[in-house]
Structure 1
Amino acid sequence: MTSKSFSNSIFIKAIIVVFSLNLPCVSMAQEEKQTNGSHHQVSLVVGHTTIFDGKDENGDKQVLFLPSWGIDYTYYFKTEENKPTWGIGLHTDIITETFKVTKNLDSENPEEEIERTNPIAPAIMGIYKTSRHWAFLLGFGEEFAKEENLTFTRAGIEYGAEISAGWEVFGSFNYDFKWNAYDSWTLGIGIAKKL
């Protein structure tokens, strides 16, 4: 089994597990009070990253769909139920493949091709949670790969639903703008635990 098919099967299994949750259980959990005083949250995200300026083995332009993982830590400054709140976090994305991409955002060399080997991209994120479900994220970080490191800005949106006391399942959509390099979109589904 190749790493790509293994990652795809994990992603499919994660989606099946999340969507097979009992909906009445979700609605009952939403009616329960949120845990007050729980400022810390950790989460695990499985996702797919899309890069529109990728290259195939022959050097031809190709849209890349790459498996990725996210490991996130968030600290919320206040945790009042159903009230808007601010947070800060360290959100790290890991793409589990090697790929080639055109530096389409580099004004000096717009057609330069670079290779990325299993890049790891931690970002310091500011989070504004408008309600118990919606959160908007903005931050910056550094993407590390053996070839070179790239600075980036990340913007995102998340929608979450509490499934039991302290546990939440959520969907996320992020856009990474690698300065003078390339951009990528990540769609993920995750599970979070309030500590």
Structure 2
Amino acid sequence: MCSKILLVITAIICSGVVYAQEGSSATETEESLKNCHRLTLSISHSHIKEGLKNESGLTGITVASWALDYDYWFSNHWAIGLHNDMLLENFSVATERNDKEEEVLERSYPVASVPVLLYKPWKHILFLGGVGGEFAKGENFMVYRVGTELSWPINKSWEIGVSATYDMKKSYDTWLIGFGISKLFHR
């Protein structure tokens, strides 16, 4: 898990170095993101490698999910946000506890809420990372989230995008691939 986090941090730092060599990419025709609020509604599929398909012990499930994200851009390249998503099913995951015995963990419509930091080095791509929680009946988990998003403006106030995020948790990890629409509120 630590190697995955280091890999993502290294990629973000390297992209910042590359950006520093290019200079500012904002042109006079682009809309400034500074002091902009963004609200995004996404539908996604969450892949859970440790998820149990049936009683035979086969693992790997995909669960539909919704996301509602809020971001505040305090510069043209940096933002803070609160990203929230809800998996739309009950499911079971196989976990290993301290004694290395496998245990089945039941999850009931888990909701994740993660404060994130976003970095947008180029016009259509951004990177994000944060730490938050996943809440469900039974047990709650701390969530470490990293991801990327590609977005394209429809007009001055709307954009569409695709995202890929990876959530690392104590008992299981989740890949989310989503499609969303965003409303921008410029000041």
TM-score after normalising by structure 1: 0.76
**Which residue does 1:192 correspond to in 2?**
182
Partner Cα separation in structure 2 for residue 178 and residue 48 of structure 1: 17
Q: Is the 8 A contact 1:39 1:75 kept in 2?
A: yes
How far off is 1:139 after superposition? Answer: 0.3
- Answering whether residue 85 of structure 2 is matched by residue 88 of structure 1, we say no
Correspondences of 1:137-152 after superposition (within 5 Å): 137-152=128-143
Correspondences of 1:22-171 after superposition (within 5 Å): 33-34=30-31, 37-58=34-55, 60-79=57-76, 85-104=77-96, 106-109=97-100, 111-171=102-162
Partner Cα separation in structure 2 for residue 45 and residue 87 of structure 1: 19
Q: Is the 8 A contact 2:33 2:73 kept in 1?
A: no
Unaligned runs of 5+ in 2: 1-27
Change (3 A) 1:33 1:72: same
Unaligned runs of 5+ in 1: 1-30, 80-84
Q: Is the 8 A contact 2:50 2:60 kept in 1?
A: yes
Q: Is the 8 A contact 2:115 2:130 kept in 1?
A: yes
How far off is 1:155 after superposition? Answer: 0.4
Partner Cα separation in structure 2 for residue 36 and residue 140 of structure 1: 24
Name the count of aligned residue pairs: 158
Change (3 A) 1:110 1:78: farther
Partner Cα separation in structure 2 for residue 141 and residue 59 of structure 1: 33
Change (3 A) 1:39 1:115: same
| SS across alignment from 1:148 | coil
Selected match of 1:183 from 159, 173, 178: 173
Q: Is the 8 A contact 1:172 1:188 kept in 2?
A: yes
Q: Is the 8 A contact 2:35 2:74 kept in 1?
A: no
Q: Is the 8 A contact 1:34 1:166 kept in 2?
A: no
Identity %: 36
TM-score after normalising by structure 2: 0.79
Partner Cα separation in structure 1 for residue 81 and residue 101 of structure 2: 33
Partner amino acid, structure 2, of 1:186: L
Change (3 A) 1:62 1:194: same
